[in-house]
Structures are given as structure tokens and as C-alpha cells.
């Protein structure tokens, strides 16, 4: 609100009043004499009679006191002399948006006083809303799309359950790169399982900006095989791959004793299959993470010795918040045991 100035007839007394922060000036220029250096006058500072003028609005935290006696004024009304109650010093409270608070009833305009921040506004506001992931700083905190997905972070790797009751062979363990997961198997069968390998595929955060809010998904990249176990085989190897966009989340095997056909007696793996699933971004968890759903079976592939009437079937499925990022087990002349190396994938937010 702009200050309103009224000029009464010449008088030797300083007795005009102002309402709502307006300035009343009574008397002649000779009796007033001073000016306000703050640019905006509230009921603050020290008021003097003729010749003294008005203070700069920063000398008192709760209204000024006139050195001479007289009437009193409250809530934005100034008297010729006396106590002004209800005015707030510009130096004490400042103004956040370009002016001095002039007391309970008054409004002042002009330059910000000492102690004010000059009108700078941080956060909030009529146009500020929660972030919706659209490339705009919706919540006015000077960060674009904070709280929206940024990238993936794989957790620590741990050995999962192994399948197979054979106690032979030496241990092996192979892992994909930090940004990869398993998406398939490669097996070598003759009579039983002579070699196994797995396929890794890179994954990353996909962002569709064609509509708002943006849509986030799992994006798949290049694939490669890890080292096989045992290292060599004379058998033809066969790939058992997950459908595009799915990852390996389970293993199944069939095992049999070699006797009475072959002696001595061994337990061998005669059939292998897998379970695949789609990965989805789950924002409800703490922290948000990738979880799998919608399973699909791949395989089986079997050796010539497989007999469903004598085979024992075993299988494993990962927890929904786990992914296979490698494989481990035991092998010698053939494959004795197989199982996954597992981890979790966290969704990092901006």
C-alpha cells in the first residue's frame, strides 16, 4: 500500500494522525524538518518534534518513544508525541517482499530495510506443486524431478541354493558385470549334463519422455557368455534363452543314479530347464527396487540317459526382489551341481 500524505493548515504543533500506516504531517516544513531514510515509515523508530524528523525505521524493535510527552498512538497511528505501540521496526523484522511492516494496521512500501531479505522467495508459492517427473522443477526447490528414478544400483552378490545331490567335482563361481543379469543358459548334453554356461545381459534405466509424467522402464543392452564349466566338452551345446525383455529367476534339474546301467554309481544331472520373468520398477518399497513378475518356463533340454520314471526333480525360484547375476556349483568330468549367484537391484532417485 502506498503511503498517503495529508497536509493540514500551518500549525506549530505536530498533531496530524495517519491510519493504516499512512503518514500524517501537520505543521509547516520548518516545524517538521526531517525526512525518512528508510523509504517507508511504519510505527517504528524514534519520533521527535519539529526539526528532528523521523528515524530510519530500524532503531526500535517495538515502536518508538517520543522524548516529549503527549498522546499515544497504537496500531499504525502516529501522534505528535508519545508512545507508538504496535509498530514493528523494519530493522527487527524486516520485510521479505520489498517493504517494511508498518505495525498492526499499516502497510509500507519502498526499499527493503536493514535486516530484510529484499523480497527473495525460497520454496513454496501458489504455482509450486509436488514433482511429477516431467523435466520441470514443479516443487520450486531448484532441483528438477527430484524423487524420480535416476539409475540402478546392484547390491552385494551372494551364493544361492545349488541343485544336485552329487558330492563330486570342484567348486566354480562366475559373475556378470555390475550392470548385468542372467538371461539364459547354455548346456552340453550327451548321456547326461557334461557342460553348463550362462548368458549375461546389460540393463539400464529407460526413460520415455514422449508424454508427461515420464515413463520409466528396464532397458536391455548387449549379451555375452561367462566361462563354461567344465571348460571343454565334446558335446553339442544348446542355448536355452529367456524371451526378450525377461531375466532368469529359476532353475530346474532332474537327477538320476548311474547304476545299474553304469558302475560305479554316480548321481548325474539328466535334464535342465529355467524360469524367466519380467522386471518392473517398484516405487513402493524402501528403497525402491526392481522386482520380477509374469514368469515363463524355458527348456527343458535332456540327455539320452533321462528317464522320467527314475529321475528325481528339483527346482528353485528366487525371491521377487532378487535377480540372478551369476552361477555357481561344482564340476569335474561333467556337471555335478548348479545354482545361481543372486543380488538385488535398487532404484536410485534424483
Task: Summarize pLDDT for 70-104 with one digit per residue, the tens.
Answer: 344 344 443 333 343 443 433 333 333 433 343 33
Whether residues 73 and 171 share a domain: the answer is: no
Examine residue 140 and state whether it is found in any structural domain, yes or no. no
Overall average pLDDT of the 127-142 stretch: 94
Quote the pLDDT of residue 152.
Answer: 97
Of the listed ranges 115-119, 124-128, 252-256, the least confidently predicted one is 115-119
- Of 93-102, 120-129, 193-202, which one has max mean pLDDT? 193-202
* Whole-number Å distance between alpha carbons of 245 and 183: 9
Cβ-contact 338, 329 below 8 angstroms: yes
Whether residues 104 and 247 share a domain: the answer is: no
Whether residues 174 and 67 share a domain: the answer is: no
Whether residues 77 and 211 share a domain: the answer is: no
Whether residues 331 and 191 share a domain: the answer is: yes
Quote the pLDDT of residue 15.
Answer: 40
Whether residues 311 and 171 share a domain: the answer is: yes
Examine residue 138 and state whether it is found in any structural domain, yes or no. no
Examine residue 127 and state whether it is found in any structural domain, yes or no. no
Cβ-contact 239, 223 below 8 angstroms: no
Residue 80 cell numbers, joined: 505528535
Whether residues 98 and 177 share a domain: the answer is: no
Cβ-contact 43, 62 below 8 angstroms: no
Task: Provide the edge-to-edge strand list for the sheet that holds 158-159.
Answer: 158-159, 335-343, 323-331, 170-175
Whether residues 170 and 211 share a domain: the answer is: yes
Quote the pLDDT of residue 118.
Answer: 40
315 confidence band (pLDDT: 50, 70, 90) = very high
Q: What percent of the chain has pLDDT over 90?
A: 63
The CATH number assigned to the domain holding 251 equals: 2.100.10.30
Overall average pLDDT of the 115-141 stretch: 73
Name beta bridge partners: 24. 6
Mean pLDDT, the chain, integer: 76
Whether residues 108 and 176 share a domain: the answer is: no
Residues in the chain: 350
Examine residue 141 and state whether it is found in any structural domain, yes or no. no
Does residue 232 carry a pLDDT above 80? Answer: yes
Integer CA distances (angstroms), 148 to 110, 155, 212, 216, 304, in order: 42, 20, 13, 9, 53
Does residue 157 carry a pLDDT above 90? Answer: yes
127 confidence band (pLDDT: 50, 70, 90) = confident
Overall average pLDDT of the 131-145 stretch: 94
Does the pTM of the predicted model rise above 0.75? Answer: no
Does residue 236 carry a pLDDT above 60? Answer: yes
Task: Summarize pLDDT for 26-76 with one digit per residue, the tens.
Answer: 433 333 334 443 333 333 344 443 333 333 444 333 444 444 333 443 444
Whether residues 337 and 260 share a domain: the answer is: yes
Quote the pLDDT of residue 126.
Answer: 67
Quote the pLDDT of residue 175.
Answer: 98
Q: What percent of the chain has pLDDT over 70?
A: 64
Overall average pLDDT of the 268-273 stretch: 98
Residue 206: closest CA among 188, 190, 218: 218
Which range of residues forms the domain containing residue 69? Answer: 1-119
Task: Provide the edge-to-edge strand list for the sheet that holds 289-302.
Answer: 149-154, 345-349, 289-302, 267-282, 246-257, 312-317
Query: Could you identify the residue written with the cell 527348456?
Result: 299
Examine residue 143 and state whether it is found in any structural domain, yes or no. no
3-state secondary structure the chain: CCCCEEECCCCCCCCCCCCCCCEEECCCHHHHCCCCCCCCCCCCCCECCCCCCECCCCCCCCCCECCCCCCCEECCCCCCCCEEECCCCHHHHCCCCCCCECCCCCECCCCCCCCCCCCCCCCCCCCCCCCCCCCCCCCCCCCCCCCCEEEEEECCCEECCCECCCCCCEEEEEECCCCEEEEEEEEEECCCEEEEEEEEEEEEEEEECCCCCCEEEEEEEEEEECCCECCCCCCCEEEEECCCCEEEEEEEEEEEECCCCCCCCCEEEEEEEEEEEEEEEECCCCCCEEEEEEEEEEEEEECCCCCCCCCEEEEEECCCCCEEEEEEEEECCCEEEEEEEEECEEEEEC
Examine residue 129 and state whether it is found in any structural domain, yes or no. no
Examine residue 146 and state whether it is found in any structural domain, yes or no. no
Examine residue 182 and state whether it is found in any structural domain, yes or no. yes
Overall average pLDDT of the 271-289 stretch: 95
Overall average pLDDT of the 322-348 stretch: 98
Q: Find all residues with CB under 8 Å of 281, minimum gap 6, and list them.
A: 149, 216, 217, 218, 288, 290, 347
* Whole-number Å distance between alpha carbons of 254 and 267: 10
Q: Domain count for the chain, please give it.
A: 2
Whether residues 271 and 169 share a domain: the answer is: yes
Is the pLDDT higher at 116 or at 290? Answer: 290
Does residue 121 carry a pLDDT above 60? Answer: no
* Whole-number Å distance between alpha carbons of 104 and 93: 13
Whether residues 187 and 328 share a domain: the answer is: yes
Cβ-contact 78, 24 below 8 angstroms: yes
Overall average pLDDT of the 154-162 stretch: 97
Domain end call among 79, 95, 119: 119
Amino acid at each position: 500500500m502506498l503511503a498517503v500524505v495529508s497536509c493540514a493548515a500551518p500549525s506549530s504543533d505536530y498533531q496530524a494522525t495517519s491510519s493504516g500506516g499512512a503518514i500524517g504531517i501537520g505543521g509547516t516544513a520548518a516545524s517538521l524538518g526531517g525526512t525518512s531514510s528508510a523509504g517507508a515509515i511504519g510505527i517504528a523508530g524514534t519520533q521527535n518534534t519539529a526539526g528532528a524528523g523521523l528515524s530510519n525505521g530500524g532503531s526500535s524493535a517495538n515502536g518508538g518513544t517520543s522524548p516529549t510527552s503527549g498522546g499515544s498512538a497504537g496500531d499504525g497511528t502516529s501522534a505528535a508525541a508519545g508512545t507508538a505501540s504496535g509498530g514493528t521496526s523494519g530493522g527487527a523484522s524486516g520485510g521479505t517482499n520489498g517493504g517494511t511492516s508498518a505495525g498492526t494496521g499499516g502497510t509500507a512500501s519502498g526499499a527493503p530495510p536493514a535486516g530484510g531479505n529484499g523480497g527473495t522467495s525460497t520454496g513454496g508459492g501458489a504455482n509450486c506443486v509436488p514433482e511429477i517427473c516431467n523435466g520441470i522443477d514443479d516443487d520450486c526447490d531448484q532441483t528438477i524431478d527430484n524423487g524420480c528414478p535416476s539409475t540402478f544400483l546392484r547390491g552385494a552378490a551372494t551364493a544361492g541354493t545349488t541343485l544336485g545331490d552329487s558330492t563330486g567335482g570342484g567348486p566354480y563361481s562366475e559373475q556378470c558385470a555390475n550392470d548385468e543379469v542372467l538371461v539364459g543358459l547354455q548346456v552340453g548334453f550327451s548321456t547326461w549334463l557334461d557342460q553348463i554356461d550362462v548368458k549375461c545381459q546389460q540393463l539400464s534405466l529407460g526413460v520415455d519422455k514422449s508424454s508427461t509424467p515420464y515413463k520409466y522402464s528396464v532397458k536391455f543392452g548387449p549379451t555375452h557368455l561367462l566361462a563354461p564349466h567344465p571348460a571343454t566338452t565334446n558335446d553339442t551345446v544348446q542355448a536355452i534363452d529367456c524371451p526378450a525383455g525377461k531375466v532368469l529367476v529359476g532353475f530346474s534339474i532332474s537327477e538320476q543314479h548311474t547304476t545299474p546301467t553304469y558302475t560305479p554309481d554316480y548321481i548325474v544331472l539328466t535334464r535342465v530347464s529355467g524360469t524367466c520373468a519380467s522386471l518392473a520398477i517398484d516405487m513402493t518399497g524402501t528403497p525402491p527396487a526392481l522386482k520380477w513378475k509374469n514368469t515363463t518356463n524355458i527348456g527343458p533340454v535332456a540327455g539320452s540317459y533321462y528317464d522320467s520314471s527314475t529321475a528325481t526333480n528339483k527346482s528353485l525360484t528366487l525371491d521377487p526382489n532378487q535377480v540372478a547375476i551369476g552361477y555357481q556349483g561344482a564340476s569335474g568330468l561333467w556337471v555335478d551341481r548348479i545354482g545361481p549367484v543372486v543380488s538385488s537391484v535398487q532404484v536410485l532417485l534424483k
